[in-house]
Structure 1
Amino acid sequence: MVDKDMALTFSVRNNRGVYALLLGSGVSKAAEIPTGWGVVEDLIEKVAEIEGVEPGDPFEWYEDEYGHPARYDELIEALADTKPERRVLLERYFEPTDEERENEVKTPTDAHKSIAWLMKKGYIRVVLTTNFDNLLESALRDIGVEPTVISTMEAADGAEPLAHVGPVVLKIHGDYKETNLRNTTEELSSYDEPMQELIDEVLNDYGLIICGWSGDTDQALRESILSSKDRRYSTYWTHRSEVSNLAEEIIEHRKGFRLEIEGASQFFSDLKENVRALEKAEDGAPLTREVIRERTKQYLPRNDRRIDLSELMKEETERVYGEVFDYSTLPLNEDVNDENVEQRVETYEQQVEKLVIATSISAYWENEVENPVSRDVLRSVSRLCSPPRPSRYNDAYDHLKKYPATRVFYGTGIAAVEAQNWGLVERLVNTEVQFSRIGRPASLELHPTTVCAHLGHGIRLNSSLLKKRLAENLREPLQDVIPDERRYKDAFSTFEFASDLLYVKENGDMMGSLPDAPRAVYDEGQFEQMTERYESGGGLQTLLDENLGEDVVPDLIEKFRNESTWFR
């Protein structure tokens, strides 16, 4: 399935500077910074203390006492006469004491530090926040970045277009140092025109990543989002629990994606590390399975990334080729015993897994995109079938070295069967490969029976067990294109059924007779299902009839039924 977290990573990485963050109080929660309401509640209690009252509900008491809801600015004025006094009063909520700093309280969290890194690298240029604290600014300054902070109407009025400014922190509800905070329902019902214009610029020109903001109380901001019309880039709404109906309305309006997270720090840390992983991958460092999976899916539908997709496949194929056919580390003349064979097979599986992911995704989606992906897939198979000739070898390992290509062959074929991409299956089974001087079809040369042909009777691994191993070990690499277990088994058995019959035909042509059929490994009842599928017409019947002859296929099926088929 498509991983939205990884999709976001690619969006941020490949669209540098076009995503803005919308951050709410949830981002600073881990730093133990109080919310605006928390500050107001504490200030009311101080006013009540001066009045000699112990209110049950501070907000209700204040409104009854003064005839209107508590306002942040009024409370500040009531408790501190001068600006220095107000600063001292408020610092205790937002600035750490020495002890708190030592305990990392009211200091930048991993979320703030990761956001700062993304901003320094230019991936994020604008942060729109409802928070009053300076944690993000501190995190930026800690890594040598001086942000442009806009928190007042005056600053907003004189601001340049956001695209022309460096990292911007747009504090739409004010900064505690300015004592201009918006917190009440009335205050949050509208913005001054200069600030509103900047908000609209963000909402119309940037994609949005929303974190720590519920959307429940900020009426003006919510209405601004719902009135924005330009959605060139995606919106991602992160949440820890169920989102509210108001949030659902915003997500629907922006055609957004929901991302369930454990917390802001982990989310932004993961985003940072994933972007860094892409940077390293694009600089030539080894690709992870997740990165090659998402890069393949990203390049597939875009004609302007056709060359990138081809290069990705080529580079990964060459990496596999260099590892598989490095005879200094994988000599072909060592002792043939169960331990050595098992170790060799496991090494091959690890070496080729990422290539299997790329080729299977390409095979599955080929009919949905314009890029000629089958060419690159078939080139990968052919390349792994043209190894350098070793000076010394034994036949067992000389044949076993075909196994990496067999895994690509099977992985690609299974994905193509699931997508009903029978044209690619046709080209795949008939592509000519050349392990020796004589070219032979992949259906013959890469069949498990050929791979295990010289292992000998004393070795535990044989063609039947290798088929079972393929069925088990290809499950995870193909999880993305075939998430359903039943469908995976069905696609595997269909491709196995076809390749077995084609193997018999090709091997028979070479031997001048119809040889013994290889053992086919199916779930109970699966063989009969494959037979019925063939008889019902469609892609499988067309493939077999055109390659074997419609008068031959029934005899081959009967041969399998009587001589070779056994069940898991």
Structure 2
Amino acid sequence: MAVVTNQAAGQGNATVPGAGGVLDPRMSLALNVHTCPGVYAVLLGAGISMASGIKTGWGIVQDLVSKVAVLHDPDRPDAGAEAAADPEDWWQEQFGEELGYSRLLAEAAPTSAARQGLLAGYFEPENVEDTGKEPTAAHRAIARLVKRGNIRVILTTNFDRLMERALEEVGISPHVVRDHMIDSMKPLVHSQITIIKLHGDYADLEQRNTVDELEEYPSAQQALLERVLDEYGLIVCGWSADWDKALVKAVEGTRSRRYPMYWGQFGRMSEPAQRLVAQHSAAVIDGVTADDLFTDLEHRVEALDRMTVAPVTRDTAVAQLKRFLPDPVRRIEIRDLIEQSVSLIVSNAGQDRYPLTGNVFAQSIRRYRADCDTLLHLLANGVFHDDGTYNELWQRVVERLNRLRNRNINGHTEDLERLRQYPALLATFTMGITAVLSRREEFLARILTQPLWTPPFSSNQRQTPAVYLNPLRILYGSINEVCSPEGGGSYYYPQSHWIRDELREPFLPVEPDDDAYQAAFHRFEFLASLIAMDSEQEFHANPWSGEFLLENWWGYDDVGLAPDIAREINESWPLLQAGAFGGEVQRAEKALEALVEFRSRNPRW
């Protein structure tokens, strides 16, 4: 199967022959990907990276030509802009030959090492504040499909590392292969995901850029490519087929495919691409960008998951989880239990049930807690009895719940929009308290630093859970409507008090003692606050202000949470061993000092 999306901006639609049918090709694509997990490979071209701010080959040509023009006529301020406006005419006029990406790059940087230095600036962020050149929605959707097991092989002509970064965001370390590594590579069937970089990496001295380099592949790479094209379904995105002669030949030489071909299209399709579509009788998915294609595919696959997994009651789900955990053969059943519970929350989270305007804060916060009930019981029991085998699964819960806040919305009030992350906050609190109770606090380093997330209405850099799930950010504005003492007044820390009470019931099977539960709750708040204070950006360094700051929990006379944790901080401390605070004792101690200072500036005891 092949799906190709050409994202050439500014080009008109083209009519391409394709296989017709009653079923929408997007539906057929999702059905096949869901039914045959691991059978489909992805081929990524430059088009998928356009939304990240990384230039296509033509964008690099325009930029390089403008630089050549400035060097050619350094005294003319407009020389670069004029050349970039029509690079082909300028090049023809100046040098008497046709302009091409390969020729220009070969002239500007005649060796591999020179090309490496020349290209690096086009693919790497300029500085730590640069929020561009990040993985796109398409990269991240593909990464999540990989994590689900739907995709196991990625072919790419791109020099960038956006796909690798998107996979790392969801906790996957990809097996990356270039031509000189093929003889010693891990077999495809033994790898969770293999990325085959057909043209190398921008930091690789063996990049392929010029016409000669793209004319044919080394024999080992050609054999591997032919094997993938023969044995796997193929989802191709952002590849124009204009420059990569060897790759075009490989696709043309593929025998009658084992699976149908789908061709996603946005803008004008090149002639070589049209020939491939016609040759393989591709069904055309018209007018879709890479982001549209892959986010839609993921959404439809998740919908099929919800249909194929029958719902179970909360108590039955918990009983099944406890029965499955000791059995390594039941990993899929455990995953299905958790994924189904998350999917039910996601499917219920529309604006019809959770309006984003009006006086509905109290209604919404109670509905979220009810919708999360089964999941919270599963997390409390699952994390408590797990030995670390399923850490990635627990982390994925937060990844999926975070998407509730990434959805497009038309109008909202801030307190209701932020509340969409309340399920992710409840899940993180549940896992954190359980980690304290089960004495594996090293897990806290993971759930409070991963997954990273970018606020939907901000250009800020990606944030850690210790920052973006701060309860004061999520339970914003109207918390006193639902949490206040009987007889009037208000709590010092209503967010902390509310969450502690709301989560007590799921913990009864694993910790029936109220005092022990409260102690674990406050210790988790304290440790989460420490990790939050460990931030280079001062406006992110805010504690999870909670009742642990009150004197009866914080402590005095060298007894209590603060002095206990101060004594624990050393090189063997589990949080440091797991990578929190960069593994540095000094950073942990500095975070504790900052928390102590915050408390002294904000006395409420």
State the TM-score bracket (shorter-chain normalisation). 0.3 to 0.5
Q: TM-score, normalised by structure 2?
A: 0.42
Radius of gyration: which is bigger?
1
